[in-house]
Amino acid sequence: MSAQREMKEKNPWHTPLTIIITVIGVIAIVALVTVAVLQNRPVPQKYKYGIVLDAGSSHTALYIYEWPAEKDNNTGRVEQKHSCKVKGKGISSYAAEPEKAGMSLTECMREAEMQVPSRRHQETPLYLGATAGMRLLNIENREASDKVFEAVEKALQGFPFSYQGARILSGQEEGAFGWVTVNYLDDRLKQGLETTGALDLGGASTQISFVPHEYDISESPSNSVAFRLYGNDYNLYTHSFLCYGKDQVLRMALAHQTRSGPVTMSDPCFHPGYSVTRNYNALYDSPCVSERKPKEAPLNFTHTGVGNFFRCQEVVKTLFNFTSCKYSRCSFNGIFQPPLQGSFGAFSAYYFVMNFLNLTDSSIPLETVKANLANYCGTPWNQIKQQHPEVKEKYLAEYCFSGTYIVTLLTEGYNFTKETFSKIKFIKEIKGSDAGWTLGYMLNLTNMIPAEAPDSPPLPHAGYVSIVTVIALLLFILFILSLRPIWPKCSKKPQIV
Ligand SMILES: Nc1ccn([C@@H]2O[C@H](COP(=O)(O)OP(=O)(O)OP(=O)(O)O)[C@@H](O)[C@H]2O)c(=O)n1
């Protein structure tokens, strides 16, 4: 009994020093892991914001973007937080009463004040970019266009954001930024994947942008834009056709069919039974058609529908000039276009129209698209109105024309074939953000896409904690092993001292 007690007393594990060292070691390791976990736990996310107003020909839209505050240096994803459609027409339609252009933005700007946390207002950049409507007004009446901008600037400066200016984007910028948006949202730029082309159809202009494969696009410098993004070089082909947006091209089609100044015009692009009175002066009040105005014409003409897709296609084709091309190859109107490459995203009015016609599914063959359009255009106007009582008549009447224009532009204009047509995806948005030029514009102006690839990201939180824990455990085991000299000897024989 006394020998056993003596054995216990001599067991080195039970010396106070060993116990103290072990306890301190364990506490130190637990403290190390705890500090690492607490110090690096994800803090509640803070965001920064940017606002872009897209002053289009048909309407203005406001977009609010947000991104994690710590990561505006290239690694955080910028996403659309909110959008607001300005009531009424585009700012270019306020040429005669410019103050109203400024006032029209108030409601959406108030929404923006609510959406962006007030502590971020002052640092939030606010941009306004105007597209083809203002390009046309600027051509037609420079003074009026300047007055509209003055009014818009004044209105925007009255809000608490960091106003960065209002300007007209060139067609090249509009095309290129649309391409940046689509490829940024698809994560193709950061990953260096093959890019998607961008097809944008507005009210007054239309853009095509893509990176051609092994084709020298320098033969037309005005159609090429060079980018270095995330360490990759891109030579982008882009072109914007002014007057080939869906509203202006409709004017051109009506002008073409009324060039002799008739009292009544039968239009294959409108449904049978459709009939409205149109004013000649109003129709020709645009630089896209003003030169075509007939010398002698009555005040009005009666616009009636016939509803024939194939004849409508013939009308649309007359709006494209295929005769002259000074480059190795052209799309139309003597504009250089390299061979189409890869897949395309088609947005804005491409989407609105094809979505209305139930033709956004890429698996629908081109021939079926045409057959559906032929059927749709041939449907009597009364029946169309009955089927879509919720759609404004003005828009409803134009879908036959718009659908025919889209198919003709893509196939005859840009040379999509029945094989390549299936590579077009009609899209409204990508991962919750609208497809369009605004996001690309803001990313560019805020330098949020770096030319070089960002440094590889630090370890994620979970990885960091795991590594600290494993290292701490290893240290603990090493510590225990270092105490080997004072470990009790494992012998069956009691150790008699
Ligand atoms: N639900 C909708 C919304 C818009 N549109 C039409 O789509 C066209 C283009 O709209 P948008 O992309 O907003 O063009 P804008 O920016 O106004 O034109 P642009 O870029 O040429 O200045 C316009 O004819 C508009 O009437 C439509 O058919 N259905």
The 10s digit of each residue's pLDDT in 379-433 is: 999 999 999 999 999 999 999 999 999 999 999 999 999 999 999 999 999 999 9
Nearest-CA neighbor of 129 among 109, 151, 152, 112?
152
Query: Could you report the per-residue pLDDT of 13-25, keeping only the tens digit for each?
Result: 567 777 777 777 7
User: pTM value?
Assistant: 0.86
Same domain? For 23 and 119 the reply is no
Query: Could you report the per-residue pLDDT of 101-134, keeping only the tens digit for each?
Result: 999 999 999 999 999 999 999 999 999 999 999 9
Task: Please give the distance, rounded to the nearest whole angstrom, from the Cα atom of residue 93 to the centre of ligand 1.
Answer: 14
Query: Could you report the per-residue pLDDT of 232-288, keeping only the tens digit for each?
Result: 999 999 999 999 999 999 999 999 999 999 999 999 999 999 999 999 999 999 999
Same domain? For 81 and 14 the reply is no
Atom index in ligand 1 nearest the CA of residue 245 equals 21
Which of the listed residues 118, 140, 168 is the one where a domain comes to its end?
Answer: 168
Per-residue tokens: 22:
């072990």
Query: Could you report the per-residue pLDDT of 439-477, keeping only the tens digit for each?
Result: 999 999 999 999 988 766 556 666 666 776 777 777 777
Same domain? For 157 and 91 the reply is yes
Three-state SS letters, the chain: CHHHHHHHHHCHHHCHHHHHHHHHHHHHHHHHHHHHHHHHCCCCCCEEEEEEEEECCCCEEEEEEEEEHHHCCCCCCCEEEEEEECCCCCHHHHCCCHHHHHHCCHHHHHHHHHHCCHHHHHHCEEEEEECHHHHHHHHHCHHHHHHHHHHHHHHHHCCCCEEEEEEECCHHHHHHHHHHHHHHHCCCCCCCCCCCEEEEECCCEEEEEECCCCCCHHHCHHHEEEEEECCEEEEEEEEEEECCCHHHHHHHHHHHHCCCCCCEEEECCCCCCCEEEEEHHHHCCCCCCHHHCCCCCCCEEEEEECCCHHHHHHHHHCCCCCCCCCCCCECCCCCECCCCCCCEEEEEHHHHHHHHCCCCCCCCCHHHHHHHHHHHHHCCHHHHHHHCCCCCHHHHHHHHHHHHHHHHHHHHHCCCCHHHHCCEEECCEECCEECCHHHHHHHHHCCCCCCCCCCCCCCCHHHHHHHHHHHHHHHHHHHHHHCHHHCCCCCCCCCCC
Within 8 A by CB and 6+ apart from 353, the residues are 201, 246, 399, 402, 403, 406
Which of the listed residues 148, 168, 188 is the one where a domain comes to its end?
Answer: 168
* 67 located within any domain: yes
Give the structural domain span for 133. 47-168
* 55 located within any domain: yes
pLDDT category, 1, cuts 50, 70, 90? very low
Same domain? For 53 and 150 the reply is yes
Output the pLDDT for position 44.
62
Same domain? For 114 and 14 the reply is no
* 226 located within any domain: no
In the block, tokens 């150790």 appear at: 495
Output the pLDDT for position 497.
39
Cα 307 to Cα 381: distance, rounded to the nearest angstrom:
9
* 80 located within any domain: yes
Nearest-CA neighbor of 59 among 402, 395, 404, 289?
395
Task: Please give the distance, rounded to the nearest whole angstrom, from the Cα atom of residue 144 to the centre of ligand 1.
Answer: 22
Same domain? For 16 and 102 the reply is no
Output the pLDDT for position 379.
98
Query: Looking at ligand 1, which residue's alpha carbon is closest to its atom 29?
Result: 352
* 155 located within any domain: yes
Per-residue tokens: 125:
């950049």
* 406 located within any domain: no
Phi–psi pair at 265, nearest 5 degrees: -130, 130
Is 174 part of the annotated catalytic residue set? yes
Output the pLDDT for position 456.
60
Query: Could you report the per-residue pLDDT of 342-361, keeping only the tens digit for each?
Result: 999 999 999 999 999 999 99
Cα 238 to Cα 436: distance, rounded to the nearest angstrom:
14
Phi-psi region of 21 (alpha: psi -120 to 50; beta: other; left: phi over 0): alpha
How many distinct structural domains can be found in the chain? 2
Atom index in ligand 1 nearest the CA of residue 436 equals 12
Per-residue tokens: 347:
């947005």
Query: Could you report the per-residue pLDDT of 319-337, keeping only the tens digit for each?
Result: 999 999 999 999 999 999 9
Dihedral sign (CA 82, 88, 92, 95)? negative
Q: Is 342 annotated as a binding residue?
A: no
Same domain? For 120 and 78 the reply is yes
pLDDT category, 228, cuts 50, 70, 90? very high
Output the pLDDT for position 11.
60
Give the CB-side neighbour count of residue 217, counting CA atoms within 13 A.
25
Q: Is 206 annotated as a binding residue?
A: yes
Which of the listed residues 124, 145, 168 is the one where a domain comes to its end?
Answer: 168
Q: Which one of the listed residues 111, 174, 393, 419 is annotated catalytic?
A: 174
Residue 63 has pLDDT above 50, yes or no: yes
Same domain? For 117 and 136 the reply is yes
Query: Could you report the per-residue pLDDT of 165-224, keeping only the tens digit for each?
Result: 999 999 999 999 999 999 999 999 999 999 999 999 999 999 999 999 989 999 999 999
Query: Could you report the per-residue pLDDT of 128-174, keeping only the tens digit for each?
Result: 999 999 999 999 999 999 999 999 999 999 999 999 999 999 999 99
Cα 312 to Cα 401: distance, rounded to the nearest angstrom:
7
Same domain? For 32 and 74 the reply is no
* 463 located within any domain: yes
Lowest mean pLDDT among 14-23, 83-92, 290-299: 14-23
Query: Looking at ligand 1, which residue's alpha carbon is closest to its atom 23?
Result: 203
Give the CB-side neighbour count of residue 446, counting CA atoms within 13 A.
26
**Quick check: CB of 268 below 6 Å from ligand 1?**
no
Output the pLDDT for position 3.
47
Q: Which is more confidently placed, 290 or 72?
A: 290
Q: Is 207 annotated as a binding residue?
A: yes
**Quick check: CB of 436 below 6 Å from ligand 1?**
no
Output the pLDDT for position 466.
74
Roughly what angle, to the nearest 10 degrees, separates helices 171-185 and 437-445?
Answer: 90
Output the pLDDT for position 41.
61
* 327 located within any domain: no
Same domain? For 79 and 130 the reply is yes
Task: Please give the distance, rounded to the nearest whole angstrom, from the Cα atom of residue 269 to the centre of ligand 1.
Answer: 19
Q: Which is more confidently placed, 35 or 313?
A: 313
Output the pLDDT for position 418.
97
Nearest-CA neighbor of 145 among 105, 90, 200, 106?
90
C-alpha separations of 388 from 358, 372, 393, 395 in Å = 13, 17, 9, 11
Lowest mean pLDDT among 212-226, 363-377, 470-484: 470-484
CATH of the domain at 141: 3.30.420.40
Chain mean position to CA 85 = 16
**Quick check: CB of 240 below 6 Å from ligand 1?**
no
Per-residue tokens: 441:
């514009």
Q: Is 158 annotated as a binding residue?
A: no
Output the pLDDT for position 496.
45
Same domain? For 34 and 67 the reply is no
Output the pLDDT for position 464.
64
**Quick check: CB of 183 below 6 Å from ligand 1?**
no
Same domain? For 27 and 55 the reply is no
Within 8 A by CB and 6+ apart from 317, the residues are 408, 412
Task: Please give the distance, rounded to the nearest whole angstrom, from the Cα atom of residue 348 to the centre of ligand 1.
Answer: 6
Within 8 A by CB and 6+ apart from 56, the residues are 90, 130, 131, 132, 133, 202, 203, 204
